Structure 1
């Protein structure tokens, strides 16, 4: 395993798009997960943002995020499907192979798992001509789907080659998920693994869950659940997963720091994952300014 397996999530870094790309590259990361608003909100417009990303040489692993998509009917579904297609076009433009879809929190959504599966398959079909895959993630506060086993149930039922499940360590830790179910998910059906931790053992309320998720996550190796994270990562490794890992760390403290400082913390986390968890050395292949990046 080498640093090319890991990438930053742009939500973790302060500053404009260009600063996030530079900070990520400076520590040897060759990939990044972007949010659509990174591109849509660029002062030069979407086309200029796409040009900057492509010129940087950084590989975009995916685009965040389609929310509240599944389980809707009639005009509500038509509206959300139209928005999702626009996000697929953004993925295609910037060369992102994955659109992230989070389980719905909408009170208007049905809990019919067969409807959910059909709608996910519909979106996955729409993504095929654009060369984009759809990844479905269970939010720990999702209205009907809030455990990774449920998101996998929907993906398995959809039975679409262009649809996979997203494994997110924060939501699994927050829900105290039973990791035995990971053995039921084929490695090729895992579209992405998102990594983060938090600083306390217990989440005591729904409000604290949201506050922690959106403002107080930390990198793997920094939090209170290193044992559980190590177990999760080793299970994924034994199951044959060899895809991307993204550090999705929502943290207000980090947004007050220079992006280079935060990227250095991510680099230490990648080293923790490889050296301490998977018992391998972190191989760094990407030179910076003619000098090798030391692990």
Structure 2
């Protein structure tokens, strides 16, 4: 992670190891934006990955949402998510460019450093890697005047780009300085993509890492993969892939990755629980990864220890 000059940063990392490199996605929590931000901050988090609906759905309007974010004490990790952008033509392409411009403006307004783009699932999109790269390059150029980056993530059910390896290939083909990779542990585990492929990736071009686990060893169909991703993710260490998540974080650290991690956990059960309870579950994961895993003392899977954050 880039150096942070805030005076509390060094003290926090001294007390909690690397736990403060981990944040939450607002998608995980139910309720109004202010309540989500407060629950995260009170649990000990110092960053948040925002979703567009939290901003545009605010009852006070987007300006009120932006003020709430800026008053929260949380740094914004990024802004999500632009979907089905690349590979289109004609009026579909023009439409998506307009959507992208609006999302980039919102990202800048909330202070996000990057916009997350997921690989297209559209049957109307071209599978030509050169066309995909061209559109990614165009989006990156639109982001330049706003001072933003674009992180491209390969959805495991993407039509053409569905692994982090192929997402990396098209990012390289696009060759834009503010275009990089968004890495999601769920998709890598779901597709059983070997983490050895990380050796091919420039760590400076990994712009964001999103982490989640899930509760079954094997995903047996694309339909089950989508359902699991959207409804049944759990925090790292709560599922059955703790060792793989730990391995991923250790590999990234060894590569020299110093960027942000965010817990992207879509879970219908968490949406029915009190916000502080869910945020504390997330904080346990951050402490496990930051204190135990990154300090090379990995506990047995599913044995997260709740530590005092006072």
TM-score (norm 1): 0.94
Partner of 1:286: none
C-alpha displacement of 1:118: 1.1
What value does the CA root-mean-square deviation take over the aligned residues? 1.4
Partner of 1:85: 101
1:133 alignment partner, one of 131, 149, 159? 149
Superposed CA offset, 1:94-116 (max 9, x none) = 11111000000000001111111
The count of corresponding residues between Structure 1 and Structure 2 is 285
Pair 1:111 & 2:131 matched: no
Partner of 1:263: 279
Partner of 1:177: 193
Q: Distance in 1 between matches of 2:290 and 2:70?
A: 29
* Preserved contact between residue 5 and residue 245 of structure 1 (Cα < 8 Å): yes
2:29 alignment partner, one of 13, 25, 47? 13
Partner of 1:190: 206
1:43 alignment partner, one of 59, 68, 82? 59
* Preserved contact between residue 128 and residue 162 of structure 1 (Cα < 8 Å): yes
Q: Which moved more, 1:163-172 or 1:55-64?
A: 55-64
* Preserved contact between residue 3 and residue 28 of structure 1 (Cα < 8 Å): no
Partner of 1:294: 309
| Runs of 4+ in structure 1 over 3 Å off | none
Q: Distance in 2 between matches of 1:167 and 1:91?
A: 19
TM-score (norm 2): 0.89
Consecutive unaligned residues in structure 2, runs of 5 or more = 1-16, 298-307
C-alpha displacement of 1:57: 2.4
Superposed CA offset, 1:213-238 (max 9, x none) = 00000011111111211221111110
Pair 1:207 & 2:239 matched: no
* Preserved contact between residue 274 and residue 280 of structure 1 (Cα < 8 Å): no
